[in-house]
């Protein structure tokens, strides 16, 4: 099949490109390299059945052509990361919503199966444990920019479901919970790569807030195994489905685990959210996915542990550190 992956030079998109290319599919990646990196897909360039286009999904003429020629579309392009959202709210809202609108319109016109990733952020301030796909949703005020990301993604969901309702567009909405693994950068505020990098340098690990907020981390390899299955399962069309891992850990415990697994001499320091993100930031205490729906629909059962994730990220950073030490020697 010919598969279009928008944002395919990003973290999740590049792992998806690797997997689908290895299965023999023809892969077309469009990415503007805003948060993605050429290095993530450099190993695929020059191979048969792979094409990289550096451009934006907001280029409508190009997107029409790419979608018309594709058999499947994975729309992984998005403004991503809490730090980016706090710093560039206009870009975030426009990039997310306009991009998804363009992708859905052409997928609808040419009747293409499309996967739209959403996020656990849409559960907002909800306190249910675990979060179920049909839970009510409570967000903070619009003066708190943090919620702009969640609301833009929520609007993506509404639009996708509207296309399903009005014209039976074969669309699947996936709410990804924290997904982690090699190639994710700490640059945009992602906690695991940020901690690992600091630990390997024996620098302090900065925990925001009291560190008792918890998260569940899924290995990217588990996630990219699930995404194509969802798109190949017609029972998933018109559905919103949680994907992640339901093992919960506090950020303080995560910092301790990273220090232990790296054998680091780092200490843990606590900083106020306000000092990191400025005013207008609110966080959620817990975010645990209910995975029953994914299990029922595609037999989803993530097998990689948090230790696997940390060890894989450590291995990648050590390799990169050795490379840059070798280059500067």
Ligand X SMILES: NC(=O)c1ccc[n+]([C@@H]2O[C@H](COP(=O)([O-])OP(=O)(O)OC[C@H]3O[C@@H](n4cnc5c(N)ncnc54)[C@H](O)[C@@H]3O)[C@@H](O)[C@H]2O)c1
Instruction: Kindly state the DSSP code that residue 34 receives in the 8-state scheme.
Output: S
- Of 158-166, 172-180, 194-202, 304-312, which segment contacts ligand X by CB under 6 A? 172-180
Binding to ligand X by CB under 6 A, coded x per residue (else -) over 96-125, reads: ---x-----------------x-x------
73 versus 266: smaller Cβ distance to ligand X: 73
- Rule CB under 6 A: choose which of 17, 78, 194, 236 binds ligand X: 78
How many other CB atoms sit within 10 Å of the CB of residue 89?
18
CA 154, CA 137: separation in Å to the nearest integer?
Answer: 10
322 token code pair: 């050795």
CB-facing half-sphere around the CA of 93: CA atoms within 13 A? 9
Is residue 95 involved in binding ligand X (CB under 6 A)?
A: yes
Closest CA to 239 of 151, 157, 178: 157
Catalytic entry in 149, 188, 208, 300: 149
Q: How far is the CB of 81 from ligand X (least distance, A)?
A: 7
Q: What is the secondary structure of 52-83 as a DSSP string?
A: EEES-TT-HHHHHHHHHH-SEEEE------HH
Question: What residues are paired with 242 via a beta bridge?
Answer: 175
Assess whether 38 carries a catalytic annotation.
no
Q: What is the CA radius of gyration of the chain?
A: 19
Contact between 9 and ligand X (CB under 6 A)? yes
Here's the x/- map for ligand X, 28-47, by CB under 6 A: it reads as: --xxxxxxx-----------
If binding is defined by CB under 6 A, does position 80 make contact with ligand X?
yes
Q: How far is 120 from 297, CA to CA, in rounded Å?
A: 19
Report, in Å, the least distance between residue 179 CB and ligand X: 4
Helical axes 60-69 vs 89-110, angle rounded to 10°: 40
Using CB under 6 A, which of the segments 10-18, 231-239, 260-268, 312-320 binds ligand X? 10-18
Query: Which CB atom, from 150 or from 266, has the smaller least distance to ligand X?
Result: 150
Residues that bind ligand X (CB under 6 A): 6-7, 9-13, 30-36, 56-58, 76-80, 95, 99, 117, 119, 176, 178-179
Residues with a known catalytic role: 149
């Amino acid at each position: 099949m010919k598969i279009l992956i928008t944002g395919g030079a990003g973290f999740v998109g590049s792992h998806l490109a690797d997997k689908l290319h290895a299965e023999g599919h023809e892969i077309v990646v469009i990415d503007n390299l805003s948060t993605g990196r050429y290095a993530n897909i450099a190993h695929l360039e020059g191979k048969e059945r792979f094409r990289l286009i550096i451009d934006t999904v907001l280029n409508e003429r190009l997107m029409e052509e790419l979608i018309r020629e594709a058999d499947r579309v994975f729309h992984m392009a998005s403004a991503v990361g809490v730090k980016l959202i706090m710093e560039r709210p206009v870009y975030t809202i426009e990039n997310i919503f306009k991009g998804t609108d363009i992708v859905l319109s052409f997928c609808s016109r040419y009747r293409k199966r499309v996967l739209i990733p959403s996020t656990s952020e849409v559960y907002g301030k909800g306190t249910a444990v675990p979060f179920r796909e049909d839970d009510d949703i409570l967000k903070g005020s619009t003066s708190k920019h943090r919620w702009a990301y969640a609301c833009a993604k929520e609007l993506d969901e509404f639009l996708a479901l509207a296309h399903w309702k009005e014209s039976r567009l074969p669309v699947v909405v996936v709410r990804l919970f924290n997904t982690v693994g090699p190639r994710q950068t700490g640059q945009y505020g992602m906690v695991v790569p940020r901690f690992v990098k600091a630990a390997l340098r024996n620098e302090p690990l900065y925990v925001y807030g009291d560190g008792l907020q918890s998260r569940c981390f899924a290995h990217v390899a588990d996630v990219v195994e699930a995404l194509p299955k969802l798109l190949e399962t017609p029972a998933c069309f018109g559905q919103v489905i949680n994907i992640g891992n339901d093992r919960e850990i506090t950020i303080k415990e995560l910092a301790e685990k990273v220090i232990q697994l790296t054998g680091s001499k780092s200490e843990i320091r606590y900083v106020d959210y306000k000092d990191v993100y400025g005013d207008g930031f609110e966080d959620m205490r817990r975010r645990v996915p209910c995975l029953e729906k994914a299990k029922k629909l595609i037999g989803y059962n993530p097998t990689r542990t948090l230790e696997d994730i940390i060890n894989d990220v450590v291995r990648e950073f050590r390799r990169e550190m050795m490379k840059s030490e070798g280059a500067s020697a």
